[in-house]
Chains A and B, each alone.
Chain A
Amino acid sequence: MSASRGVALVGAGVCKFGVRRASFRELIWEAGKACFDAVPGLRPRDLEGLVVGSVLPERTAFQSHIASLAAEALGIRPSALSARTEHMCASGTVGIRYAYAFIAAGLADLVMVLGVEKLNQPSGEEAILNMGTGVDREWEAAFGLTAPPCFALAAQRHMMRYGTTEEQLALVGVKNHTHAARNPNAHFQKGATLDQVLCSRMISSPLRLFMCSPITDGAAAVVLASAERARDLTDRPVWIRGTGQALDGFQLSSLPDDLARWPALERAAQAAYRMAGVGPRDVDVAEVHDCFAIAELIAYEELGFCDQGEAGPFIAARRSDDGGDVVVNPRGGLIGCGHPLGATGVAQAAEIFLQLRGQAGPRQVPDAAIGLTHNNSGMGEHVVMIYGREPA
């Protein structure tokens, strides 16, 4: 697969993540404003398209027709592309893939992708119930299933098969909470010690509170441009080098028997690496989908950062932390930053944008040249993007 035209990120903006005293529309305003402020000379009316990733506005804000709402709120008048993407937790990155494909195909030159989710309404109890809409209602959600037990099943399996320990799972929480403390937009900013993570309350065995992402409101935006427009707008575009998406199954009982292996992630990663012309060892910084600690560990393996079954020792040796083989989740990941579903993939891209431009401040990975994002919807559906300081 090869694209006909180069595509780059030219701007990014993220709002403060957390339990926000702000409406759905206000979150859109905040992320849009941050993104436009990052691209001097770009005005809303210059954009030809807007894609909005959002999962649950019908249930949380009693609002659909989201792309048009956001376009009007931000003063964008789409002439080539206006759409919403809903692919549960991967909605944001799926939106970036749409915008990428549109620009690569020559159908647009300048497109914003915005992700937004207002989860903490109408009430906290309903917020958790609402999250169950992402699993199969008839055969899973009707039992009260939400995400934590799904990933707990994978964690149990990984521990049984490879000897992965509770402490190794906890180290993901320690690392990502510690990283989040350097990110003023993160939901949590107090850091966490190993004891704190291991003593936090049990959610779904073996996953404890600090090994889980919280329920977060937030929004993020990026602007994608064709090569020519990118060079007009900035002298430091961040190039999209590769992308892949693959799906193994929706229901738990449709996934491969061995829940500690995610073949769809391996396939998505291989497609992205092939297209980018790089391999796992070339990746300097990665934003991976640590909705739960086990997800980050399995991602190390399927992305090729370490061998099968070696993720526990890999994090214990600090090989995914500052100074290691690849710095994973420098902004704090989903565990530290929070997980406003539709916004997550876009916020991951925004972080890689800052990292590859050397603008990530106290969490900057020195001289980062190749960045990767991994965004999933459950355990069977995965999207990978690879970005570079230089075009392919």
Chain B
Amino acid sequence: MTYWRAVDPFPLQSADHTKLAEFYARLGQGRLSTTRCAGCGRLAWPPRAFCGDCCADRFEWVDLSGEGAIQAFTVQETGLPAGFPGPRVFAIVAVDGLRIFTVILNGEAGRVAVGQRVRLRPLRVADGPTGEPRWLPAFAPA
């Protein structure tokens, strides 16, 4: 029974499914990137193919440093969705002036702190429908 596809929570990341596939390709190589609007120069997070400020639909890819500091966090211990083990550290991380929502991997829950330095640690999740790897932009203590 292939019913599980109906509850697949991960985005479809290949070029067949999204014009932002470049983000995931770079992420798989350990690079954190995003889009810069070719119209007004605004650096976006998350990457976007349309600028809500100037309405341009042209953009270029920019690599970010991949390092930042935790601005806010919480540790979820119970009540996580099926397939997501706890405890899980959710955080907002400031990277190169952007605010990125993410999870902190390998952080001992009691030792995570606001201001803590973290670094990109791409998280491999379940493969896509045609077997290609899928990645999420997670972070770990620097």
Residues of A within 8 A of B (CB): 125-126, 128-129, 131-132, 137-146, 148-149, 152-153, 155-157, 160, 201-206, 212, 251-253, 257, 259
Contacts and interface: CB of A to CB of B under 8 A. Distances in A.
Interface residues of B, number: 33
Contacts of B138: 143
Given A137-B9, A153-B73, A252 B101 contact: yes
B116 interface: no
Interface of B: 7, 9-11, 45-46, 71-84, 88, 90, 92, 98-103, 114, 125, 136, 138
A140 B101 contact: yes
B74 A144 contact: no
Nearest to A206: B74
A137 B81 contact: no
Contact of B78 (A125, A126, A132, A201): A201
Top 9 nearest A-B pairs (CB, nearest first) are A144-B84, A152-B74, A125-B82, A204-B76, A129-B81, A138-B11, A149-B90, A253-B99, A252-B101
A203 B78 contact: yes
Contacts of A152: 74, 76, 90
A206 B9 CA distance: 26
Given A139-B101, A204-B79, A153 B10 contact: no
Contact of B11 (A128, A142, A144, A202): A142
Given A128-B81, A152-B90, A204-B76, 5 more contacts: A128-B82, A129-B82, A140-B101, A203-B78, A251-B46
A204 B77 contact: yes
A139 B82 CA distance: 18
A153 B136 contact: no
B92 A144 contact: no
A149 B72 contact: no
Contacts of B9: 129, 132, 137, 141-142, 144
A29 B7 CA distance: 29
Given A160-B114, A203-B76, A253 B45 contact: yes
A143 B77 contact: no
A149 B74 contact: yes
Q: Which of B72, B73, B99 has the most CB of A within 10 A?
A: B72
A1 B57 CA distance: 35
Contact of A259 (B72, B78, B80, B83): B72
Contacts of B45: 253
B97 to A, nearest CB: 12
Contacts of B99: 253, 257
Given A148-B76, A153-B74, A205-B74, A143 B102 contact: yes
Given A143-B103, A153-B74, A153-B92, A128 B80 contact: yes
B46 A156 contact: no
18 contacts: A125-B81, A125-B82, A128-B80, A128-B82, A132-B9, A138-B46, A142-B9, A142-B125, A144-B9, A144-B83, A146-B80, A149-B74, A152-B90, A153-B74, A201-B78, A202-B77, A203-B79, A253-B99
A157 B72 contact: yes
Given A126-B7, A139-B46, A142-B10, A253 B100 contact: yes
Q: Which of A202, A204, A251 has the most CB of B within 10 A?
A: A204
Contacts of B88: 143-144, 149
B113 to A, nearest CB: 11
Contacts of A155: 74
Contacts of B80: 128, 144, 146
Contacts of B125: 142
A131 B46 CA distance: 22
B82 A204 contact: no
Q: Which of A128, A131, A143, A148 has the most CB of B within 10 A?
A: A143
Q: Which of B73, B80, B100 has the most CB of A within 10 A?
A: B80
